[in-house]
Structure 1
Amino acid sequence: MLDFITQKKHDESRQGEAFAPEQAGVQQFSKRFYIESYGCQMNFADSEVVASILQEGGFGATRNYEEADLILINTCSIREKAEQTVRKRLTDLRKVKQNRPGALIGVLGCMAERLKSKFLEEEKLVDIVVGPDAYRTLPSLITEAEGGQKAVNVLLSREETYADIAPVRLGGDGVSAFVSIMRGCNNMCSFCVVPFTRGRERSRDAISIVNECQVLFDEGYKEVTLLGQNVDSYYWVDESTDTIVNFAQLLEKVALISPLLRVRFSTSHPKDITDEVLHTMAKYENICKYIHLPVQSGSTRVLQLMNRTYTREWYIAKVDRIRAIMPDCGISSDIIAGFCTETEEEHQETMSLMEYSKYDLSYMFFYSERPGTLAARRYEDDIPEDVKKRRLDEIVHLQNKLSHESNVRDLGKTFKVLIEGDSKKSGNDWKGRNSQNKMLVFPKGDHKVNKGDYVMVKVTDCTKATLLGEIV
């Protein structure tokens, strides 16, 4: 399961973000589309694939949904609150049809696959429903919907990777970009809907991945994040040479494009990350020293109920191995509070494992039963909500403490930082991340540097979320 862009809960995942590519003026297209994305990084990467398909079909992007002929919501189904947020947004967007009767509204992504009949028949919220593996059919589905038909394609595929489609970079900073390397998931974690909404795991060919990263670098991008539900299980066979490319080898191929191109990845499943990956990370300075390593629970019994296929002790040994090979590696995690039958003692085990691992940050939420998952079929959701919330609050409080302690340890250190743009609070400051994925904010001063440049920054102060420093 991919990490969410939030530090509290997956419930509070990235709210819908709407983007239009800077280079695509709407004047050259006869119709315009607007797209909002919710949830994980994979959804945002998928929206860029959809934008490419739509542009080929004669649609130009717009940042204003009120002038769009096609409004798309790329949805997340991981938490109940995420679905509620999307439903409310769709209800609001239906009002657009009062002013633009010919406008079409479509749902993409995980909710599309899971709730297709409700959207189309019970709630009548949308005209088009497209699952994660059916984006190529969007032009024909739009034609169907324009003719008054409800257009649906939520078929899952064992082959689709969109490897031949060049994504249109939507609203990015021109510095960092997502590159999808695989789709689907074979890990049947009992709490997770991803295997049912995104299908079985399949890896994109390494040649197209490296080519996409090369093009991004040539266009001025300085950082790529390789995306997959479980990147460490990446596996592709080059039939022309009958050789296998695993994730460590793919990482190396991308790193070798240029030492000026930073390489990140997300997400790792603890059972699959190998010493070969860790040694490859240690070997190349431009492969970021940061691993998102979801633990979910610190209790072996609960981990077994979750079907995570490792024990508490095994996970701790993996953390120890990462620290041994890369002492400076940043580690973050996903944590679920209040999973079925979790006892107070098991909750404390999660807290103690957090203390041991010293996570730089965590993505934390309380358990919410998702229909169709193994947990929904096998176990009773028997932890009262007030207990779940209290346990989550304790986890969040502890993580805030750990994050602050992690930042305090960096006081006085100097890091290589990639400038991503202006600080949110002041145009007089730059912001950027170091190799460990920590955000640094520092004054521009009289330094002749620009967005996309690397600078050395000495840490002089910190908050629990941000390092503050100065260029040296």
Structure 2
Amino acid sequence: MARYHIETYGCTSNRGESRQIERSLRDGGHHPVESPEEADVAILNTCTVVEKTERNMLTRAKELDEETPGDLVVTGCMAIAQGEAFDEAGVDAEVLHWDEVPEHIRNGECPTHTPDTEPVIDGVVGILPIARGCMSDCSYCITKEATGKIDSPSVEENLRKARALVHAGAREIRITGQDTGVYGWDEGERKLHVLLDRICTEIDGDFRVRVGMANPKGVHGIREELASVFAEHDQLYNFLHAPVQSGSNDVLGDMRRQHTVEEYLDVVETFDEYLDEWTLATDFIVGFPTETDADYQQTLDLLEQTRPEKINITRFSKRPGTDAAAMKGHGGQIKKNRSSEMTDLKMSVVGEVYESMVGAEREVLVVEDGTDDSMVGYDQTHRKVAIPGVQSAGVELGDFVTCRITGHNTVYALAELV
């Protein structure tokens, strides 16, 4: 769990993005602090409206780089438009699109829920934590100390909570947990597919369900059953977040990740078999202490082979008290170079996906306000779609709309109403 300090500059849109970043971080068990000196990570949400502003952003980034004992993340307009300026100014920061920030800060660790975590509604999105804890013992993860082993409420209890969210107005249910794939393991049987099937068959209403992070090892043993449920029910987004972390079995062993590359590939191939179109999301940690050049190349090769459509890339950082913190690691420049190269490949892969959508019609569930008159939603594969001009057209949050994809901005599509 990280302590974070966030500073936001610029327009209302930037402030809204910072609120969403904070919401995701707090949902993952991270805590805000007042000063960068107290923080494990500082976040600078930037503006780039005029040249003077740009100079101010670079000055503040340098100050935060010096003031923060941990990492610095730069996001916002200047990060997107002129991200290279921070590197040229000698600022040691991870430059990210705003919606990549929470996953980066999580550092490959599981999201952490407190024991009393209950479902909540954020607009038309319902958050449903189905269990707490995990079955892993990753060598780099401090979350384990806070969560312990998997503790799974019954299917009946989670079904009741899901029904209550829908009845309270949720149009999208986001199922969360440290590792949703091992839900039920403590009761002797993995039950994620059972819970999803019952949510889809026993709850009335027009809604969608997105399944949160599920480690490959947990999914592997139920991959056929899980993929079958996805194929059967339109309420389920065809989306799976299975963080592989490395393309090298040697590194996975040192990370104590439990799964192998081959098991990860089994999961991907099974979902390919059952679903005509789906989104694979995954995570990679680059610069793990034992990652050699050859190991890193295997990770690049795995990304190229499986071509996930949502990719979170994290430079390894040591967490106090973990076994990996005691390992002799790589210098910052090696980690930075590997992260930069992998990010370039990521943007190429993801950009191709959204480019392939141009001209197609998609049904989109609108769940967020965008900038100006736009709104944001997700198609059946949980690909992000921004639709300009729809608020004045009378579209409301929670509406299903038919759109034609007109373009993209690499990590999301642009569309117009049909």
TM over 0.5: yes
Q: Residue 422 of structure 1 is aligned with which of 361, 369, 384? A: 369
1:206-257 C-alpha deviation (Å, 9 max, x unpaired)? 222222221221122101111111101111899xxxx967110101122221
Q: Residue 83 of structure 1 is aligned with which of 15, 30, 40? A: 40
Q: Residue 432 of structure 1 is aligned with which of 377, 380, 387? A: 377
Q: Against the structure 1 CA distance between its residues 41 and 179, is the aligned structure 2 distance closer, same or farther, given a 3 Å change threshold?
A: farther
Distance of 2:131 and 2:393 partners within structure 1: 41
1:171-205 C-alpha deviation (Å, 9 max, x unpaired)? x2x21121111111220111111111222211122
Determine the structure 1 residue equivalent to 2:317. 368
Determine the structure 2 residue equivalent to 1:44. 27
Determine the structure 1 residue equivalent to 2:193. 248
Determine the structure 2 residue equivalent to 1:325. 274
1:251-276 C-alpha deviation (Å, 9 max, x unpaired)? 11222213512111111111111211
Determine the structure 2 residue equivalent to 1:386. 333
Determine the structure 2 residue equivalent to 1:136. none
For residue 203 of structure 1, give the secondary structure of its aligned residue in structure 2: coil
Distance of 1:464 and 1:38 partners within structure 2: 20
Distance of 1:417 and 1:313 partners within structure 2: 34
Which one-letter code corresponds to 1:44 in the other structure?
D
Determine whether 1:400 maps to 2:357: no
**Which stretch shifts more, 199-208 or 271-280?**
199-208
Q: Residue 205 of structure 1 is aligned with which of 141, 154, 168? A: 154
Preserved CA contact (<8 Å) 1:229 1:267: yes
Determine the structure 2 residue equivalent to 1:411. 358
Distance of 1:430 and 1:14 partners within structure 2: 28
Mind listing any 5+ residue stretches in structure 2 that lack a counterpart? 9-18, 44-63, 69-111
Determine the structure 1 residue equivalent to 2:288. 339
Q: Residue 454 of structure 1 is aligned with which of 400, 405, 408? A: 400
How far off is 1:458 after superposition?
1.6
Which one-letter code corresponds to 2:155 in the other structure?
A
CA radius of gyration, larger in: 1
Q: Against the structure 1 CA distance between its residues 260 and 237, is the aligned structure 2 distance closer, same or farther, given a 3 Å change threshold?
A: farther
CA RMSD of aligned residues (A): 3.3
How far off is 1:331 after superposition?
0.7
Distance of 1:386 and 1:245 partners within structure 2: 42
User: Could you tell me the TM-score, scaled by structure 1's length?
Assistant: 0.64
Determine the structure 2 residue equivalent to 1:50. none
Distance of 2:178 and 2:23 partners within structure 1: 10
1:379-399 C-alpha deviation (Å, 9 max, x unpaired)? x23211110110011111110
Determine the structure 2 residue equivalent to 1:153. none
Q: Against the structure 1 CA distance between its residues 439 and 244, is the aligned structure 2 distance closer, same or farther, given a 3 Å change threshold?
A: same
Which one-letter code corresponds to 2:27 in the other structure?
F
Mind listing any 5+ residue stretches in structure 1 that lack a counterpart? 2-10, 18-35, 47-72, 90-130, 134-159
Q: Against the structure 1 CA distance between its residues 166 and 84, is the aligned structure 2 distance closer, same or farther, given a 3 Å change threshold?
A: closer
1:23-65 C-alpha deviation (Å, 9 max, x unpaired)? xxxxxxxxxxxxx99778484277xxxxxxxxxxxxxxxxxxx
Determine whether 1:263 maps to 2:195: no
Please give the residue correspondences for 1:28-177 in structure 2 after superposition, counting only pairs within 5 Å: 41=24, 43-44=26-27, 74=31, 83-85=40-42, 133=114, 160=115, 162=116, 167=119, 169=121, 172=122, 174-177=123-126
Determine the structure 2 residue equivalent to 1:224. 173
Which one-letter code corresponds to 1:443 in the other structure?
P
**Paired residues, number:** 335
Distance of 1:180 and 1:14 partners within structure 2: 25
Distance of 1:247 and 1:259 partners within structure 2: 21
Preserved CA contact (<8 Å) 2:385 2:412: yes
How far off is 1:168 after superposition?
5.5
Q: Against the structure 1 CA distance between its residues 42 and 366, is the aligned structure 2 distance closer, same or farther, given a 3 Å change threshold?
A: closer
How far off is 1:313 after superposition?
2.6
Which structure is higher in helix share? 2
Determine the structure 2 residue equivalent to 1:465. 411
